[in-house]
């Protein structure tokens, strides 16, 4: 079947140099072949001779009909860097990427699947987390990718999206630090972090997470779905703890145990206070992660709800040289020189947040007295 010449409506008039009939279905229109200059972002994109090769024939670059000028969709779109595809069965013009068509099998949290059966690479969605970013929320999904092949595996062709139960789609973004590659070494597992921004009021359980693969074997490239992950609401945040409690938080692929707060006073005249929080970190064996965008914020809050001290640490490794790293094993977060005159000591607590990108969530609040 011949592809039709696709024309784009332009709201401008132009001088005509010739006329020609155009057939649209059963209707024939008399149009003028226009001699116009096509400028795109200040660059002259006028085709030589005023005609355009559409893959089948040489056609005019512009037509005029009843005071309006029409230019080919394909020519304009491709000049702007967008591929164009004509689907004859549905008589649809696709500009840019085609929407994902078809359904993909469900892949629940914690289950594993291979996107390609002949490639020994396994994807396992581990968890989803909701962060407060102020006016919006940020949803992050952590996916472990295991490469059992004898050669590196490139995950750059795998894309993501998030779909609300009402059909609204949100573009997924993969966190890859600057300077990092898109490969996983043989016999290695790496945790990938996909995220998106959603309006306030959207819960994780309202969303499904889609993993797709770009198929470059055809032109234009097609996006093929292969897994749909129903998301679940993450564990309740902001749990209250006593200073002797030792909860463990799963910050994939790291585990952080907090608690055992000790405090003492010195310098009686200045009423100075010191707080020391015990922290123990560990990492899942044989799992690698990028330099981590996940950080912990430790904040001392007085009995009046006022923040009087705050410090920030990266978990594992950091992309920011100014942020210290919590290494494996035991360590202590110390707050020095907190004077009684600056805050009310009654009801003092240490709040611990997990931060990612521009968002954060409260993990827990530890009462000191």
Q: Retrieve residue 329's tokens.
A: 């094993």
Instruction: With H, G, I as helix, E, B as strand and everything else as coil, classify residue 233.
Output: coil
Q: Retrieve residue 190's tokens.
A: 């790496």
Q: How confident is the model at residue 209 (pLDDT cuts 50, 70, 90)?
A: very high
Return d(Cα 123, Cα 146) in angstroms, integer. Answer: 7
> Which DSSP symbol is given to 292?
B
- pLDDT, averaged across the chain: 80
* pLDDT tens-digit map of 98-152: 555 555 778 999 999 998 888 899 999 999 999 999 999 999 999 999 999 999 9
Alpha helical stretches, state H, the chain: 73-79
Q: How confident is the model at residue 85 (pLDDT cuts 50, 70, 90)?
A: confident
Domains and their CATH numbers in the chain: 7-95 (no CATH), 121-230 (2.60.40), 239-367 (2.60.40)
pLDDT at 252: 83
Q: Retrieve residue 66's tokens.
A: 């009843």
pLDDT at 347: 78
pLDDT over 90 (residue 287): no
DSSP 342-369: GS--TT-EEEEEEEETTEEEEEEEEE--
* pLDDT tens-digit map of 306-348: 888 899 998 877 777 788 888 788 888 888 766 555 555 677 8
CA angle 233, 172, 74 (to 5 degrees): 150
pLDDT at 272: 57
pLDDT over 70 (residue 181): yes
pLDDT at 223: 77
pLDDT at 33: 76
Q: Which residue has the higher pLDDT, 76 or 4?
A: 76
Segment 275-279 long-range contacts (CB within 8 Å, at least 24 positions apart): 275/300, 275/334, 275/335, 275/338, 275/350, 275/368, 276/332, 276/333, 276/334, 276/335, 277/332, 277/333, 277/334, 277/350, 277/366, 278/246, 278/330, 278/332, 279/326, 279/330, 279/331, 279/332, 279/333
Return d(Cα 238, Cα 128) in angstroms, integer. Answer: 17
pTM of the model: 0.66
* pLDDT tens-digit map of 42-58: 788 888 777 877 767 78
Q: Lowest-confidence range among 173-187, 244-258, 318-332?
A: 318-332
pLDDT at 291: 63
pLDDT over 80 (residue 191): yes
pLDDT over 90 (residue 171): yes
Instruction: With H, G, I as helix, E, B as strand and everything else as coil, classify residue 194.
Output: strand
How far is residue 20 from each of residues 27, 31, 59, 96, 123, measured CA to CA in Å? 14, 6, 11, 31, 57
pLDDT over 70 (residue 267): no
How far is residue 65 from each of residues 13, 24, 25, 50, 75, measured CA to CA in Å? 9, 13, 17, 17, 19
pLDDT at 173: 93
Percent of the chain at pLDDT above 90? 25
Q: Which residue has the higher pLDDT, 43 or 200?
A: 200
Return d(Cα 315, Cα 259) in angstroms, integer. Answer: 17
> Which DSSP symbol is given to 247?
-
């Amino acid at each position: 079947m011949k592809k039709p010449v696709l024309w784009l409506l332009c709201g401008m008039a132009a001088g005509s140099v010739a006329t020609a009939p155009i057939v649209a279905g059963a209707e024939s229109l008399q149009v003028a072949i226009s001699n116009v200059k096509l400028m795109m972002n200040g660059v002259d994109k006028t085709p030589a001779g005023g005609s355009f090769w559409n893959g089948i024939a040489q056609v005019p670059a512009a037509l005029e009909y009843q005071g309006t000028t029409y230019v080919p969709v394909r020519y304009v779109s491709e000049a702007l860097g967008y591929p164009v595809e004509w689907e004859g069965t549905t008589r649809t013009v696709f500009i840019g990427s085609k929407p994902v068509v078809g359904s993909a099998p469900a892949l629940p949290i914690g289950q594993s699947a291979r996107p390609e059966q002949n490639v020994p690479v396994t994807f396992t969605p581990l968890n989803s987390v909701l962060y407060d970013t102020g006016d919006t929320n940020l949803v992050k999904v952590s996916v472990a990718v295991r490469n059992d092949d004898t050669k590196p595996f490139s995950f750059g062709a795998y894309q993501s999206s998030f779909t609300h139960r009402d059909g609204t789609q949100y573009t997924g973004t993969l966190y890859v630090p600057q300077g990092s590659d898109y490969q996983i070494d043989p016999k290695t597992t790496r945790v990938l972090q996909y995220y998106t921004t959603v309006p306030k009021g959207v819960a994780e359980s309202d969303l499904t997470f889609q993993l797709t693969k770009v198929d470059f074997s055809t032109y234009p490239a097609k996006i093929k779905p292969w897994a749909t992950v129903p998301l679940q609401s993450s564990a309740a945040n902001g749990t209250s703890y006593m200073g002797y409690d030792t909860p463990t938080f799963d910050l994939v692929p790291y585990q952080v145990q907090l608690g055992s707060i000790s405090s003492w006073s010195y310098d009686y005249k200045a009423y100075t206070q010191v707080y020391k929080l015990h922290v123990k970190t560990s990492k899942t064996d044989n799992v690698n992660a990028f330099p981590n965008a996940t950080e912990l914020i430790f904040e001392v809050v007085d009995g009046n709800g006022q923040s009087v001290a705050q410090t920030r640490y990266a978990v594992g490794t950091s992309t920011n040289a100014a942020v210290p790293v919590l290494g494996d094993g035991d360590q202590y977060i110390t707050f020095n020189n907190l004077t009684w005159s600056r805050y009310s000591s009654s009801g003092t607590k240490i709040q611990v947040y997990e931060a990612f990108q521009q968002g954060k969530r409260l993990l827990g609040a530890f009462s000191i007295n």
